[in-house]
Amino acid sequence: MLTDNNMRALLVGRFQPFHNGHLNLVEKILEKSDSIIIVIGSAQHSYTLENPFTAGERLEMISAVLKESVHKDFYIVPVEDVDSNSIWVSHIETLVPKFDVIFTNNPLVRTLFLDKGYKVESTSLHDRSDLSGTNIRKKMLKGEHWEQLVPVQISKYIKQIGGVKRIAMIAKSDKATL
Ligand code: NAP
Is the shortest distance between the CB of 44 and ligand 1 below 6 Å?
Answer: no
* Cα 40 to ligand 1 centre (Å): 10
Contact 106, 89 (CB under 8 A): no
Rounded Cα gap, residues 163 and 126, in angstroms: 25
Q: What confidence tens digit (pLDDT) does each residue in 112-127 have?
A: 999 999 999 998 777 7
Superfamily of domain 8-173: HUPs (3.40.50.620)
CA of 23 to the centre of ligand 1 (A): 15
Q: Tell me the CB-side half-sphere exposure of residue 28, using CA atoms within 13 A.
A: 14
Mean pLDDT within 67-96: 97
Domain range annotation of the chain: 8-173
For the whole prediction, is pTM greater than 0.85? yes
Q: In this structure, which residue's CA is closest to atom 14 in ligand 1? A: 13
| Ligand 1 contact, 82 CB (< 6 A) | yes
- Mean of the pLDDT values across residues 61-90? 97
Q: What is the pLDDT of residues 10-27, one digit of tens each?
A: 999 999 999 999 999 999
